[in-house]
Chains A and B, each alone.
Chain A
């Protein structure tokens, strides 16, 4: 059954039940994957999937359902379930439409549509051979090269039809190192690619992190406790520093009234060094946000400029609900403006601190408090990296840290969907063993 048939059938049935708006998103996806396990290629996997979501609105009552079996009877059952859900949904004056109120036709394509198995196998074998030769102590765990493509059609009752076709490769490496009885902490890295033109080990941070994994075999427990500076590696900047902060820009916290940033657009809320953009229109990214969750074409925006909050990340519904402007994207393809100093120059500014490779911690508290373990990290003393550490905990408040930025590197990591420099922050409690 084609997407238009799914929509037409669902809409006919919904109209009979007095629904006023409906939207169907129908996505076919394909995956081809070669996986490494215990240091060798072990599995080849190809999958086809389909998912259909139907959203509907009746008298300001909203309902949604998702399924992957698409038949006449499954659509009928779905409509029945939507009817019951809408009967029980609250009247929400902010629910006035589904997706854009004005119809139209839009279509975007990005990236390859089909995998090439022979180049995939060649690059995987090359990766394994090079990794084993250059890093004999390395242990590759569940790593692999995956190709994903998706074709999605969104049709709604306002006359909107949006088609999206996208595809990309992704290399994912998960690894640790072992020599005798010494083991290093596991680490992982991923890069999104449009083409397989270069060896996988040279992409993104792959080689740097494999090298570091071997060095980390000589980790020593951190001793003592101090409040000081940490330099966060680019691959850790988004999950550690920005993950909790960006949550304060979205629907969930803004609607619940627990956002610290909802009323601060136009005000400086982070250090002046921070300029963060969502560059969704940059075609050089292998993986891009093409359309927002509402079906609008995604537009690039600046989220923070010199520390000033410029934009929230609200959906159509979140915007109406909170009486604030809609976001033009979902906060993807983030680019943090780099600084003027090299990483070595930043390290030279640290009397005692940590270079953090990976952060393993709980979700930040609602007020931004965060604590967790510094993994794949190094001790810095008197402006020099001393050596790899273990058993080091970091605690602090994300907002305090991001208002205490002492530097951004000129080196930038491009992982195919974002670009981040090293970020140096102050006011972090670092504690080790007694």
Chain B
């Protein structure tokens, strides 16, 4: 573990070139039961030091494992050398946006105030959940219960004089059940958790745990008798858990400045209507409604003080998400989106906590407004595109017939063109939920928060 004093020994004053130094440690815990057997019990830690330099418009980066001042000095020199290698062979007009406040010295830890719980205790807890599931649903083909936690700790110093030390943990519990049906095995997975260490979030209260097991168990039983949706365009209600992934995939990625420079359709739409006036979308830095967001970022890996980024304001596309380099290029504000996943990764433009804001409608009213359509929930993986086309997997749902929930669904995939779909939004519910168990993929994975209310819109489904 390195401290500010170690980084100050490497960056003691502003230099000729921009330099940032970082120590980072990612600590991972995964425990998993499959059909009553402990199949995963892994603790891992990846830590090291890195440096990134900006010179003549080019970046140089280097990293090493040893968490020492000496190693940090070496990688700093290597980073400068790498930037110079490119700078001596090419010409590039690129600059970094000046910081609004270069006197930032920030420390924040989201680690628990509760005593750490031994791994053996978590194993017993998961075993008890597994036994409850087996007792209640003895006919399952398979059942899995898993606990995943990731702590990311980083210490950063830049030649602008910014210093940051943060520790952000997250923990999740997942249940996945598989049942044999007439059409083969059907599966349903559900996750609980968010910001914090496992002892902050678990164990769940007995009644909450029972309700959760029943929700997933009854869900997979329904799915076993479910139907595939009819392939084609339909009116749908996306439950709050799905709206978050929609905000992230369908909109968020197209408005990351590096993808805008790569040809994203959002590049031509700044200041224009891209959604119904009912839709506002924000990438929150660290706080939502007075509470910490799932992945709080106070100062990013470039030393930028993080602020909320209002991407869509009542239907109008207002800004992109930036690094210091793209902010200078676009002449927009850098609001703290540069993050790296491992010590050996360079910071990229990443989303933080992307959410569609809640509205005024009740979900029952929204379902009641649809004659033939679907209610969809339980998101799986998703992907975005430069054209604005998006897709994501949906694990559960119902047909809606004459304003009522009807037959349950099996697995489905939904897609659409983001801004066309957002313009079709006619109702937005009052509810709100965060989802934060997955990873956003780009060049590096990254934990993110995704949130939203239920929304009524029109999109395409894959099916029969």
Contact = CB atoms under 8 A, between A and B. Distances in A.
Contacts of A363: 380-381, 393
B232 A434 contact: yes
A87 interface: yes
Contacts of B47: 68-69
A414 interface: no
A393 B415 contact: yes
A153 to B, nearest CB: 16
Contact of A142 (B41, B60, B443): B443
A48 to B, nearest CB: 5
A340 interface: no
A42 B413 contact: no
B61 A45 contact: yes
Nearest to A430: B231
B346 interface: yes
Contact of A42 (B59, B265, B389, B415): B59
B398 interface: no
B35 interface: yes
Contact of B187 (A85, A366, A429): A366
Interface stretch (A88-96, A104-112, A264-272, A286-294): A88-96
Contacts of A42: 58-59, 92, 94
A365 interface: yes
B386 A81 contact: no
Contacts of A31: 344
Nearest to B120: A88
B287 interface: no
A281 interface: no
Given A256-B142, A371-B463, A429-B464, A121 B89 contact: yes
Nearest to A42: B59
Contacts of B119: 81, 84-85, 88
Given A142-B258, A429-B464, A68 B387 contact: no
Given A49-B344, A431-B460, 4 more contacts: A44-B58, A361-B391, A395-B464, A434-B232
A434 B233 CA distance: 7
A394 B412 CA distance: 11
A373 interface: yes
A362 B62 contact: no
A206 B138 CA distance: 52
Contact of A391 (B89, B265, B413, B417): B417
Contacts of B262: 38, 139-142, 174-176, 186
B321 to A, nearest CB: 15
Given A361-B413, A391-B417, A434-B233, A66 B385 contact: no
Interface string B18-43: 00000000000000001101110111
Nearest to B223: A365
A360 B383 contact: yes
A89 B264 CA distance: 49
A181 interface: yes
B411 A362 contact: yes
Contacts of A372: 391, 393, 413, 415, 462
18 contacts: A44-B58, A64-B41, A67-B46, A68-B47, A69-B65, A125-B89, A142-B443, A178-B267, A183-B386, A186-B262, A361-B462, A362-B392, A365-B187, A366-B184, A366-B187, A367-B183, A391-B460, A393-B415
Given A363-B393, A395-B462, A46 B78 contact: yes
Contacts of B392: 362
B63 interface: yes
A211 interface: no
Which of A50, A181, A371, A373 is the most central at the interface, judged by chain B CB atoms within 10 Å of its CB? A371
A362 B44 contact: no
B461 interface: yes
A433 interface: yes
B57 to A, nearest CB: 8
Which of B123, B124, B383, B387 is the most central at the interface, judged by chain A CB atoms within 10 Å of its CB? B387
A141 B61 contact: no
Contacts of B48: 49, 68
B41 A89 contact: yes
The 7 closest A-B pairs by CB, nearest first: A362-B393, A367-B184, A371-B462, A141-B262, A366-B185, A431-B231, A38-B261
A184 interface: yes
Given A50-B65, A92-B37, A393-B231, A84 B89 contact: no
Chain B: number of interface residues, binned into ranges: 35 or more
Given A66-B42, A360-B391, A393-B462, A368 B184 contact: yes
B187 A68 contact: no
Contacts of B144: 256
A219 to B, nearest CB: 8
A431 B462 contact: yes
A390 interface: yes
A2 interface: no
Contacts of A393: 231, 413, 415, 460-462
Interface residues of A, number: 79
Given A44-B85, A45-B346, A362-B413, A69 B45 contact: yes
Nearest to B413: A371
A315 B458 CA distance: 46
Interface string B159-198: 0000000000000000000100101111100000000000
A260 interface: yes
A381 interface: no
Contact of A85 (B39, B41, B45): B41
Contacts, number: 255
Contacts of A175: 262
Contacts of A186: 262-263, 385-387
Contacts of A121: 85-86, 89
A40 B463 CA distance: 41
Given A44-B82, A176-B263, A373 B44 contact: no
Interface string A172-210: 001111100101111000000000000000000000000
Which of B82, B181, B183, B417 is the most central at the interface, judged by chain A CB atoms within 10 Å of its CB? B82
A49 B65 contact: yes
A90 B62 contact: no
B90 interface: yes
Contacts of A362: 380-381, 391-394, 411, 413
A326 B37 CA distance: 21
Contacts of A260: 184
Contact of A373 (B38, B346, B415): B415
B215 interface: no
A393 B392 CA distance: 12
B74 to A, nearest CB: 10
A47 interface: yes
Interface string A12-53: 000000000000000000010010011111111111111100
Nearest to A122: B89
A262 B40 CA distance: 22
B111 to A, nearest CB: 18
Given A41-B58, A84-B119, A46 B264 contact: no
Contacts of A184: 263, 386-387
A385 interface: no
Interface string B432-453: 0000000000110000000000
Given A176-B263, A361-B413, A87 B83 contact: no
A125 B90 CA distance: 10
Contacts of B50: 47
B96 interface: no
B417 A44 contact: no
B411 A369 contact: yes
Contacts of B391: 360-362, 372-373
A46 B142 contact: no
B118 to A, nearest CB: 7
Contacts of A45: 60-62, 82, 346
